[in-house]
Amino acid sequence: MPWLFLLFVALPAIEIYLLIQLGQLIGGLQTFGLILATGLIGSYLAKKQGIAVWTELNNKLNSGRMPGNELIDGAIILVSGTLLVTPGVITDLIGILGLFPITRALIRKLVQAYFKGNPGFRMQFGAFGGNQTSSGSAGVPFSAAPSQPEVSSPNSAPANAAPKSQTKSTGSPPVELSGKAKQRPSFDQ
């Protein structure tokens, strides 16, 4: 509850006070221009840094490595860009710190230390929030139930087989939609 109060009541009140003081110090038109300039510069820097982090993230994924720092950097850049577009002095200062690689590395370490020290926060990777071994990455295939072999007599067709008149020459089975058997469109002709 105190975080919500600080974020949605105290911070905007302080920002308004600082903008009024800045307007009295340098003038209203100059303050308005400064707000626009920080918004434009912030969006440009967020885009540039975001593309750089996205490229590094793709490089790590293509090489088969987990992009941990790049994911955190992407989140920091997103928050920083949002803070720079928001009018205010404090939000602009915090936003600028998150867009430069040197200060972003410090923020990343603080974020990692916070989440490592917070036992109530847990992230899981894998299928449906499970661990890596439950998704079958350890060489064991994932299945909800053990598979049973289908037993059919030589004179009867399996229960899930489509009639011969509904299959194309490609041998692909039909897709059933709302109870009626319809064939998939073939784009390889």
What is the enclosing helix (H) or strand (E) of 176? strand 175-177
What is the mean predicted confidence (pLDDT) over 132-153? 43
- What tokens does 182 get? 């319809």
Lowest average pLDDT, out of 11-15, 45-49, 180-184, goes to: 180-184
148: left (phi over 0), alpha (psi -120 to 50) or beta: beta
How would DSSP label each residue in 41-65?
HHHHHHHHHHHHHHHHHHHHHHTT-
Q: Which amino acid is at 13?
A: A
How would DSSP label each residue in 108-126?
HHHHHHHHHH-TT-----S
pLDDT tens for residues 15-33?
999 999 999 999 999 999 9
For the chain, helix, strand, coil in percent to 5 are 60, 5, 35
Average model confidence (pLDDT) across the chain: 75
CA distance 40 to 113: 32
- pTM (two decimals): 0.59
Residue 185 has pLDDT above 90, yes or no: no
Give the pLDDT band of residue 160 (cuts 50, 70, 90).
low
Residue whose token pair is 């289908």: 150
